[in-house]
Amino acid sequence: MLLHEKLKNKKLILASQSPRRKQLLAEMGLQFEVIIKSVDESFSDDLKMQEVALYIARQKAEAFDHEIDNNTIVITADTIVCIDNMILNKPEDRNDAVRILQLLSGNKHTVITAVCLFSNEKEKEFFVATDVYFRPLSLEQINYYLDNYKPYDKAGSYGIQEWIGLVGLEKIVGSYHNVM
């Protein structure tokens, strides 16, 4: 039985503003509604990298606790970008985006996406980690990317499906869709 057939009597809520997450669910043939809740995304420094993404995805799901009926499944996710045990969040501004992209230039980093499926009956969590290797990027390339794509809403200051993925990506070990 296909996934969309299994879920045909369920109401799906995607708790994400990500256009890529919306696209992936739509391409899977799923019908869903987007509902966003404001959640504190701070976390303890004691957490391991994959635990950070899981913790934040869980926080997003638990914001719906006691607000959904037995026929509803909430889908939340969080993506973090890590290099040398440092989490690279969404850039604060252009200068921060330049700094982040210069850190990624010529280096390997890891993209971790955690997903939480939450209903009144149960909660399922999982994560995927993908290693991404960037070629060296010139300041001219970084500035061109920032001027034309404005990736200020993305962890790690880039979208792999955009221009920078074509010129900067050396190789990927793991799931492309995880990085996207």
Distance CA 86, CA 84 (A): 5
Among 89, 63, 75, which Cα is nearest to 31's? 75
Given the residues 78, 84, 96, 153, the one annotated as active site:
78
DSSP 161: T
Distance CA 78, CA 98 (A): 23
- What SS3 class is residue 139? helix
Query: Is residue 131 annotated as part of the catalytic site, yes or no?
Result: no
Asked if 60 contacts 72 with a C-beta cutoff of 8 angstroms, the reply is no
User: Do strands 11-14 and 108-118 pair parallel, antiparallel, or not at all (unpaired)?
Assistant: unpaired
Structure tokens at 93: 């501004």
Catalytic residue ranges = 78
